[in-house]
Amino acid sequence: MPILVMKFGGTSVADLDRIRNAAEKVRAEVERGYDVIVIVSAMSGKTNELVGLVEGTSPLFDAREYDAVVSSGENVTAGLMSLTLQEMGIPARSWQGWQVPVKTTSAHSAARIEDIPRDHIDQKFAEGMRVAVIAGFQGISDEGRITTLGRGGSDTTAVAFAAAFAAERCDIYTDVNGVYTTDPRITKKARKLDRIALEEMLELASLGAKVLQTRSVELAMRYKVRLRVLSSFEQNTETSGTLVCDEEEIMESNVVSGVAHSRDEAKMTLVSVADRPGIAAAIFGPLSEAGVNVDMIVQNISDDGRTDMTFSCPTDQVLRAERAMTEAKERGEINFHELIADTEVCKVSVVGIGMRSHAGVAAQMFKALRDENINIKVISTSEIKISVLIDRKYMELAVQALHDAFDLQGNDS
């Protein structure tokens, strides 16, 4: 039988009533003739509760024990989902990550999936099991320890299973009914997209869109997994939700498909750095070692042998970045006059594969911001994306202005 992967997020399995609702959607797919692999998250709020318990023991907790504790939320949901399906008369069985086994690296709380052997689950399907319920977000390392994949890791689990089992599709059930042109909470003009290219979805996810975890989209691109984003709380049909697919499956690409934003950004500037070969490596090497996720980078032109280096990073990594730069200066690796941190900025981006073949997108974006008297602090571009840092107080205004400027409320997907 063909295999379908269905993933249910925390809000979709928040209580027994919602688990029953999700189980009904699984039953519908079984009745359509699929063998189904269901990936479940922990019940809404449970992971935060477990993280709080771990952090309450010690701020310097053992990452291996952290994974052992926080992974337990998904185990509860998997068991309850399997029991619910069994009550419906559907042969179902739950599996924890180590039972499959989902083989991962040993990077606790940020592990990466290395292999998912099919034999065990394939055998159970052959024996009459119709639904395998898998605890998402977790796996097992070579050392035999439970690992977790990072927040939102159940999306990655779902795509990995879809790739490993050559599933017809991977359906991601959430509390929204698809991928929108921008955050509907910011503008009521936001429109649901029928289809979006994987490459566009990857950019939107990395730029702050919360619909899918970035790593799950990367996996989907690598293994050509077709994704569909659906609501758990609506009656769905074959055309419901948003299909995230190869660019070739989209008849005509919009110049801009969406506007993304990230509120918690910081702009850091090293003032008066020596302008010499290797200075960038001397700066960004220590930042990398400190685990600082650097995004935008701008180096000012210098005539006197000194320059300013500006970069952006998440606001919760500012102290880490400041410590890394101070220590590098004390070691004599770099020298700068001062380090200025601006934590009142945000990032706003426009994304679209149609940018490859259309000129003038940047000019249109900058004009829309100018018309709203919004100053741009930093600019970053790629083949299908333009991002700017602006004052955070203008974020919602900028998103609305750009959404209007590119007529996203009226374009057909």
Query: Domain limits of the chain?
Result: 3-175, 269-341
Minimal CA–CA distance to 218: which of 163, 291, 255?
Answer: 163
Model confidence at 412, pLDDT cuts 50, 70, 90, reads very low
Q: At what angle do helices 46-57 and 63-70 cross, to 10 degrees?
A: 150
Give the tens place of pLDDT for each residue, 274-295.
988 999 999 999 999 998 999 9
Strand order in the sheet with 306-314: 297-299, 306-314, 258-274, 338-351, 385-391, 378-382
Model confidence at 386, pLDDT cuts 50, 70, 90, reads very high
Class of domain 3-175: alpha beta
Give the tens place of pLDDT for each residue, 313-323.
999 999 999 99
Q: How many CB atoms lie within 10 A of CB 53?
A: 11
Class of domain 269-341: alpha beta
- C-alpha distances (whole Å) from 143 to each of 103, 104, 107, 108, 318 are 10, 10, 11, 12, 34
Q: Tell me how far apart the alpha carbons of residues 110 and 9 are, in angstroms, rounded to a whole number.
A: 19
Evaluate the CA torsion angle 73, 76, 81, 82 in order and state its sign: positive
Residue 145 has pLDDT above 80, yes or no: yes
Model confidence at 209, pLDDT cuts 50, 70, 90, reads low
Minimal CA–CA distance to 25: which of 15, 13, 14?
Answer: 13
Q: Tell me how far apart the alpha carbons of residues 360 and 356 are, in angstroms, rounded to a whole number.
A: 11
pLDDT value of residue 246 = 86
**Cα 364 from chain centroid?**
28
